[in-house]
Amino acid sequence: MAVTVLDSLNHALDHAMDTDSRVYLLGEDILDPYGGAFKVTRGLSTKFPERVLTTPISEAGIVGVANGMALRGLRPVAEIMFGDFVTLSADQLVNHAAKFRWMYNDNVRLPLVVRTPMGGRRGYGPTHSQSLEKLFLGVPGLKVVAPNALGNPGDLLLAAIAEEDPVLFVEHKLLYTRPLLEPGQGELADYEIQEFSEPYTSYVLRIPNYAPCLTIATYGYNFELARAAALDLMMEHEAFCELVLFSQLSPFGLQPLAASLRRTGNLLTVEEGTLSLGWGAEVAARCVEAVEGLRVRRVAARDLPVANAKSLEDAILPSVQDIVNAALELVGR
Amino acid sequence: MSDYFSLYKTMLLIRRFEERLLAEFSTGKLVGTTHTYIGQEADAAGIFSVAGADDVIFSNHRCHGHFLAYGGDPYRLAAELMGRATGLVGGRGGSQHIQWRNFYSNGIQGGIVPVATGMALVEKAQKTGNIALVFIGDGTLGEGSLYESLNIAALWTLPLLIVLEDNHYAQTTPSEKGVAGSMTGRFAAFGIPVWERETADVLEVRLAATEAIQRVRSGAGPACLLLHTYRFSAHSKGDDPRSPEELTRIRQFDPLNVHAKRLPSAEIEQAETEVAPVVNDAFARADADPFPSLRDY
Ligand SMILES: Cc1ncc(C[n+]2csc(CCOP(=O)(O)OP(=O)(O)O)c2C)c(N)n1
Ligand SMILES: [Mg+2]
């Protein structure tokens, strides 16, 4: 059976706990046999009963307790059951986790990981479907990392656990059951893939021997949509894209994106968070500052809550067709 | 009695330090805000005379008294308050955000309590025998994360002592307008025992602190030390809605006077003579220190 994103994350947690007794897990309903709302922690409370702590429904408490643990030498990994609830831990992330090291003049370290599933398309409605990571981008002292199905999400998680600083680790719900994508195999057979490590690997994908006219920048699950759109653009419109896939959203480096943009001159950002003042806006601004003559479009969710009814949810969240349309407009076809 | 003397001297150091601090504001040497501990000195002096040397402390916005009683260096504190590179945290934190050894403070009401709870968890997991102490005020009883922490600390039998200093006001809001029902009842609901004292006597505080700390250190889970007290100065600077009559009335409960009665006058003079140069030196040295610059980072 193919290894899924869920397996990869679960194995990474298992490995981290096995090799480092400072690693603790905290979260709601994470004990076996349930193993967490999305099963990422399944099996771990059986194997490490002392270090897997099921908590009351207290998102501020969970992250706050984890902050205290991290300040005093442990490596807690906290789970927030749905990303929507991360707002209840916002104070702990922004005013505590992200501040302590700098505010205490580097006297302390805070090796914390907060994992949480974000994203819609499962009909969970307005308070269980959001992509709220945009609210936590640009907070000094807080890293935001989002795995995707390429490469190894578990390696990203292990890198986050190895950090000395807090990381918000955003897992799109639809990724969990996805098999891992292998470079050069299956759907990725046509692509030449370059890796950039920071230490959270980002990727540039291109079709060799065809001049690209457009760069699509994206992260997380939206890489799946962006790839489908790129295929359509290639087959139906003979428009070749370079895809730049981010894993570390904040803070972020401009390379390899800027280099790709110097080849294509057109940037299309794709995200599932709401459009206004979002990830794409900042990426676009930074790129426009750096790359002469750049043209930009953003594809994102409409500025509305995520509706429950599938017809509405589909209309609110970005689709493959939205990406294709924006791309064609951008390249003038 | 040298023990009585050292309690007095700790309280006097806090008093003179804070008075000097307020004076420095008027000379423009200090900017921003500050929350002085004047009137509440018996709490910190009593508690830190019996806390363990390796216990972990999380203090709040009103942290100078806690820090000095903890044994912190008045000079490094003064330098921090004056925004100097030699300050406790290099000028990055200022009055409410300091860190030294096992002492931490943050200016977010309530948010420090879950953090201290996590610290207590570490001491328990590592079987160090140390406990965590967290300081909150009456106004902080309004913060939700406090109750999340009480619940978790009680469920997990964590070695956490919550020191609740009820000085009857949260900034300008009297506790009648900010705290419904019972203070002790809040802890009782979680099965957390409370040591409650209404006193300006450092010996009474010390006795209650001894018992509460002993209980927490025994592994029986969290406890609360509820101290009803008075702050004599404004909440920070110039925000004091209290009447002159009220201020006169509460000044009867001056912890320095209460305890001074136990000391011969020679020792009281000696305390003044020993504290004055420490405070002078702290501020004078700090004043000569360089300001931090972003280039240093
Ligand atoms: C979360 C938060 N809300 C509001 C404030 C602003 N503030 C600082 S001190 C204070 C009053 C605190 O009252 P109390 O807890 O009784 O402590 P005291 O100042 O009396 O020692 C307020 C409202 C803050 N620092 N943090
Ligand atoms: Mg108060």
Residue count of chain B? 297
The residues placing their C-beta within 5 Å of ligand 2, an ion, are B 137-139, 167, 170
Chain mean pLDDT for chain B: 96
**CA–centroid distance for B46 within its chain:** 11
Q: Bridge partners of A113?
A: A77, A167
> What are the structure tokens assigned to B33, written together?
């805000």
Beta strands A295-301; A266-274: pairing state: parallel
* Euclidean distance between the first and the last CA atom of chain B, given in angstroms as a whole number: 49
Longest CA–CA separation in chain A, Å: 60
List the domain boundaries for chain A: 5-175, 186-331
**A186-331 has which fold?**
Rossmann fold (3.40.50)
Cβ contacts of B117 on chain A, cutoff 8 Å: 61, 64-65, 68
Q: Do domains A5-175 and A186-331 have the same CATH topology?
A: yes
**A5-175 has which fold?**
Rossmann fold (3.40.50)
CB contact under 8 A, A58 and B123: no
Ligand 2 centre distance from Cα of residue B268 (Å): 30
Ligand of minimum distance to the alpha carbon of B137: 1
A61, A69, A108 member nearest B122 (Cβ): A69
CB contact under 8 A, B108 and A67: no
pLDDT of residue B28: 85
Q: What residue type is A9 in one-letter code?
A: L
What are the pLDDT digits (tens) for B138-162?
999 999 999 999 999 999 999 999 9
B2 pLDDT more than 80: no
Mean pLDDT of the B99-124 span: 98
pLDDT of residue A37: 97
Check: CB of residue A117 under 8 Å from CB of residue A150: no
Question: Helix H segments across chain A?
Answer: 5-19, 44-47, 59-71, 90-91, 98-103, 153-162, 222-237, 257-264, 279-290, 310-316, 320-331
B285 Cβ neighbours under 8 A, 6+ residues apart: B75, B78, B79
Helix (H/G/I), strand (E/B), else coil: A216: strand
Check: CB of residue B54 under 8 Å from CB of residue B85: no
Helix (H/G/I), strand (E/B), else coil: A139: coil
Check: CB of residue B33 under 8 Å from CB of residue B236: yes
What secondary structure letter does DSSP report for A94?
Answer: I
Residues B128 and B112: their CA atoms lie apart, in Å, by 22
What are the pLDDT digits (tens) for B232-280?
999 998 789 999 999 999 999 999 999 999 999 999 999 999 999 999 9
CA distance B162 to chain A (A): 15
Residue of chain B minimizing CA distance to A92:
B111
Residue of chain A minimizing CA distance to B112:
A64
User: How many A/B residue pairs have CB atoms within 8 Å?
Assistant: 113
Q: Which of A35, A68, A81, A60 is closest to B160 using CA atoms?
A: A68
The phi and psi torsions of B93 (rounded to 5 degrees) equal: -105, -45
Residue of chain B minimizing CA distance to A102:
B92
Beta strands A192-196; A75-79: pairing state: unpaired
Mean pLDDT of the B104-109 span: 97
* Helix A59-71 × helix B144-155 angle, to 10°: 70
Q: Which ranges of chain A have pLDDT less than 50? A: none
Q: Which residues have C-beta atoms less than 6 Å from ligand 1?
A: B 35, 61-62, 107-110, 137-140, 167, 169-171, 235
pLDDT of residue A197: 82
CB contact under 8 A, A72 and B89: no
- Dihedral Cα A148, A150, A154, A157, nearest 10 deg: -50
Residues B88 and B86: their CA atoms lie apart, in Å, by 7
pLDDT of residue A1: 66
B95 Cβ neighbours under 8 A, 6+ residues apart: B32, B33, B34, B35, B61, B63, B64, B80, B81
Residues A166 and A114: their CA atoms lie apart, in Å, by 8
Beta strands B194-198; B173-174: pairing state: unpaired
Q: Which of A315, A301, A267 is closest to A287 using CA atoms?
A: A267
pLDDT of residue B297: 52
CB contact under 8 A, B121 and A64: no
B98, B115, B151 member nearest A68 (Cβ): B115
What is the number of the ligand 1 atom nearest to the C-alpha of B136? 15
Give percent of chain B above pLDDT 70.
99
User: Residue B44 belongs to what H/E stretch?
Assistant: helix B41-48
Q: Which of B86, B83, B131, B137 is closest to B107 using CA atoms?
A: B137
Ligand 2 centre distance from Cα of residue A167 (Å): 34
Ligand 1 centre distance from Cα of residue B41 (Å): 18
Instruction: ipTM value, please give it.
Output: 0.96
Interface test with A, best of B54, B105, B121 (most A CBs within 10 A): B121
CB contact under 8 A, A72 and B122: yes
Residue B113 or B297, more confident: B113
Ligand 2 centre distance from Cα of residue B172 (Å): 9
Environment class of residue A245 by beta-carbon count within 10 Å: exposed (0-12), middle (13-18) or buried (19+)?
buried
What is the number of the ligand 1 atom nearest to the C-alpha of B175? 16
Residues A55 and B4: their CA atoms lie apart, in Å, by 45
Ligand 1 centre distance from Cα of residue B83 (Å): 22
pTM of the model: 0.97
Q: Which residues of A283-292 are buried (b: 16+ CB within 10 A; e: fewer)?
A: bbeebeeebe
Check: CB of residue A245 under 8 Å from CB of residue A218: yes
Interface test with A, best of B105, B152, B158 (most A CBs within 10 A): B152
B296 pLDDT more than 70: no
Residues A70 and A63: their CA atoms lie apart, in Å, by 10
Cβ contacts of A53 on chain B, cutoff 8 Å: 156
Domains and CATH numbers, chain B: 3-289 (3.40.50.970)
- Among protein residues, the one with the nearest Cα to ligand 1's atom 22 is B171
User: Residue B207 belongs to what H/E stretch?
Assistant: helix B202-217
CB contact under 8 A, A74 and B149: no
Q: Which of A61, A125, A67 is closest to A89 using CA atoms?
A: A61
Q: What residue type is B17 in one-letter code?
A: F
Q: What residue type is A328 in one-letter code?
A: L
pLDDT of residue A2: 81
Residue of chain A minimizing CA distance to B92:
A103
> What are the structure tokens assigned to A228, written together?
């489908």
